[in-house]
Structure 1
Amino acid sequence: MTAPAEPQELLLKLLDPASRANPYPVYRQILDSGPMQMPESTLHVLSGFTECDEVLRHPDSCSDRMKSTSAQQAVAAGEAVRPFGPPGFLFLDPPDHTRLRKLVSKAFSPKVVKALEPDISGLVDGLLDNIPETGQFDVIESLAHPLPVAVICRLLGVPIEDEPQFSSASTVLAQGLDPFVTFTGETQGLEERMRAGLWLRGYLRELLERRRAQPADDLMSALISVEESGDQLTEDEIVATCNLLLIAGHETTVNLIANGILAMLRNHEHWTALSADPGLAPAIIEETLRYDPPVQLASRVAGADMTIGDLRIPKGDIMMLLLAAAHRDPATTERPDVFDPTRGQIRHLAFGHGPHFCLGAPLARMEAMVALSAVTKRFPNARLAGEPVYKPHVTLRGMARLDVAV
């Protein structure tokens, strides 16, 4: 009989690039092991659905890492914990989070998103028109990547011709979300992320100056007008907000579209069903969000002494939530390892809960709905042309290439 793996051993397996193509057996091991508490690291790793859901909803859960014991220790040691300046509002707590989110939320309201549907459909049709009717194509390069990039560029006011530069920077920065420091105490690729982060902030500042001189009908111009009308918004906050939206606005939606396509091609009856009935798209998207979520991990800081389930969590400790494990918790979902959009109620935490519920959820769902419906209708007999190739990211796990034959 094999002895159960130690918590540190399981977490290292999760970080191992060999697990990227299929991390779910590791997640199951962690889930079966129960919550991991490492008081010497002020870290608690939670993988059950109920516990993760409770943390996301808890009023004492904080998103500002500066409130953690480890960050305060780094500050006391003279380390620069925020080398780029203030973070995006995703990593802030009220009142700053409330103020910034309110200013941005109008651009992502259901009404605004609905009005974008014809443009998104046109973009998808144009991308699919460029795919040959026979042969094979890379889903990432041909559809899943260019669509969200075009949409977020249009919303923010970022020139689409600059896409290769900021996409390259955003890919590097996305690795900064991976919990290498939290799990191992080691930094990986820090210098490269510093260069990418400084470049992207500098790029956005230059673009802000152009928008000041020539305002347009976009979110960046709207944020500038707010800044110039009073003290609600600083230039650093505009840069941080645009930086967050540019990265979060396309990395996660690329993964959602690609993950949905891969899941249907591996379970072809759902590809065939959607090609005949676009009304099935919402259920397929929700099941994709549960089964293979674009964001696999999230973290919170205990803003006070907390009790989650049977766990006591001291103020300042970090709670790492393994959302991808929680989604496959058999206590919550029957047959959790099966992709089944017809299962009825689909419960997931892919967009979070509480005050930090994903602002872009309606837009991501809309883009995925249009893309998945159109690609299955256009290519009803499509099939996988090889195993997918994955990026190194752990938190924003996604594919770098997915070849499909038509």
Structure 2
Amino acid sequence: MRSIAFLSPDFLANPWPRYAHFREEQPVWWSDEIRMFCVFRHRDIRACLTSPDYTVEYPFRVSRQVFGETLLDLDGPRHTRLRRPLAGLLLGRRDNVAFRAAAEERARTAVAALNPGTVLDMVSGPARAVPLTATAAFLGIPAERHDWLLHTVEYLVSHLDGSSGDFARASVLRTELEEYLVGLLSMGAPPRSMLGEVRTWVRDGELTTAEAVGLATLTLAAGFETSTGLISNTLHCLARHPEHAAAAAGDSDRLRSFLKETLRWEPPQHDTVRFARRDTTLSGVRIPAGSALKLVLASGNRDAEVFDHAEEFRPDRSTHGSLTFGHGSHSCLGTHIALDVAEAFIGALLARFPGLRAVDDPMPPITGSTFRRPQALRMRLGPKGES
């Protein structure tokens, strides 16, 4: 019987063969290492994401310890009550027009500041800075606090996969972040910003201050990590698939399709967690009440039952059924925001530097545990045809 050592270097560098094996042979597998049932097939993952037999509620969930209670930790009426106004803001009739304009402007500004002919590590540079500053602007956090915010959120996010880092330091930073957000809410966040809207919800009694801060911190964390991973992984895929990169460079529809296929094929988040409310069975495996389940979303994204030639990178395919942003009541409300930020930045980057290319051969791999992206990706910013 095969097993997975989730933190072993070979698995972190290339988990896909293991995922394929377990989808076929052990689609629901108990791991002694992490004390969880691991779920690999698309249909089983989707069942766990939608069935009332499974819940997100668990007091010792790592995300709850790092960021406090957020929508990630709630089910039932309270989850619905908190999600509804946020969905109205992110997906409602205004359709994020103001945010899209801000994101596109920040992306263009970031690209305009880059120097032609230089070599730049995209991961430590704009791939991490652009998403967070765009999200911060959407929230209504002033530009002079963006550097502090970037380092604070980056440190907190680094603990979400069970890092053995300094949780005491993380706790201090979380308190500082919460106090800062409370101050913005009490003093008046800018109009036409998320915090400006949330402030009215608190004033009208729709949310408590703690719930408002939870929505803001969740938006920051998701806006940082997922979008940073999406931009980094997309640039990695563009370098690996130059035949598709040329087509995407001058066509926004093709670039959008390239981004969606990157999210399916190399998602920035590989798994999420659920807990069994009651004794149940999944693919013939008995799941006792209270058990934790690691839903391997990335494995489901390469399930041949859902996607033809699932192991191949095909930007022209339909990605309907992708599990990258979840499914059901906890599906990510920021999907379009992440795509908008990535499209604005990468589109502007390719337009200004059509000869963009990676300089390291081989390129640093996409790696990581729950969150996956290259640790570095050096690219040369030069005109088309540069050798």
TM-score, reference length from structure 1: 0.83
Structure 1 residues 343, 206: CA separation in 2 closer, same or farther (over 3 Å shift)?
closer
Structure 1 residues 379, 282: CA separation in 2 closer, same or farther (over 3 Å shift)?
same
Report what 1:60 is aligned to.
Answer: 53
Report what 1:203 is aligned to.
Answer: 177
Aligned counterpart for 1:321 among listed residues 295, 308, 323: 295
Aligned counterpart for 2:80 among listed residues 98, 101, 109: 98
The count of residues paired between Structure 1 and Structure 2 equals: 377
Q: Which moved more, 1:19-28 or 1:99-108?
A: 19-28
**Separation in 1 of the partners of 2:64 and 2:120?**
41
Structure 1 residues 189, 159: CA separation in 2 closer, same or farther (over 3 Å shift)?
farther
* Aligned amino acid, residue 236 of structure 1: A
Structure 1 residues 341, 356: CA separation in 2 closer, same or farther (over 3 Å shift)?
same
> What percentage of aligned pairs have identical amino acids?
25
- 1:393 Cα deviation from its structure 2 partner: 4.5
Report what 1:401 is aligned to.
Answer: 376
What is the CA deviation profile of residues 66-110 of structure 1, one whole-angstrom value per residue up to 9, with x for unaligned ones? 3xxxx5xx9xxxxx9965785111221122211111232233126
The gaps in structure 1 that reach 5 residues or longer are 75-79, 181-187
* Aligned amino acid, residue 147 of structure 2: P
For residues 371-390 of structure 1, the aligned pairs below 5 Å read 371-386=345-360, 387=362, 389=364
* Aligned amino acid, residue 403 of structure 1: R
**Separation in 1 of the partners of 2:229 and 2:338?**
10
For residues 319-358 of structure 1, the aligned pairs below 5 Å read 319-358=293-332
Q: Are 2:335 and 1:361 aligned? A: yes
- 1:390 Cα deviation from its structure 2 partner: 7.0
**Separation in 2 of the partners of 1:343 and 1:39?**
34
Matched-pair contact (CA < 8 Å) for 1:172–1:196: yes
Q: Are 2:279 and 1:286 aligned? A: no
Report what 1:166 is aligned to.
Answer: 149
Report what 2:229 is aligned to.
Answer: 255
Q: Please give the root-mean-square deviation of Cα atoms over the aligned residues, in Å.
A: 2.8
Structure 1 residues 89, 274: CA separation in 2 closer, same or farther (over 3 Å shift)?
same
Report what 2:385 is aligned to.
Answer: none
Structure 1 residues 247, 324: CA separation in 2 closer, same or farther (over 3 Å shift)?
same
Matched-pair contact (CA < 8 Å) for 2:250–2:351: yes
Matched-pair contact (CA < 8 Å) for 2:63–2:160: no
**Separation in 1 of the partners of 2:66 and 2:189?**
26
For residues 2-401 of structure 1, the aligned pairs below 5 Å read 4-5=1-2, 7=3, 10=4, 12=5, 14-38=6-30, 43-66=36-59, 86-109=68-91, 111-178=94-161, 188-189=163-164, 192-217=166-191, 218-230=193-205, 232-386=206-360, 387=362, 389=364, 393-401=368-376
Structure 1 residues 337, 194: CA separation in 2 closer, same or farther (over 3 Å shift)?
farther
Structure 1 residues 84, 294: CA separation in 2 closer, same or farther (over 3 Å shift)?
closer
**Secondary structure of the equivalent of 2:229?**
helix
**Separation in 2 of the partners of 1:99 and 1:325?**
32
**Separation in 2 of the partners of 1:325 and 1:251?**
20
Structure 1 residues 29, 317: CA separation in 2 closer, same or farther (over 3 Å shift)?
same
Structure 1 residues 103, 264: CA separation in 2 closer, same or farther (over 3 Å shift)?
same
Structure ranking higher in helix proportion: 1
The gaps in structure 2 that reach 5 residues or longer are 383-387
Matched-pair contact (CA < 8 Å) for 2:120–2:379: yes
**Secondary structure of the equivalent of 2:96?**
helix
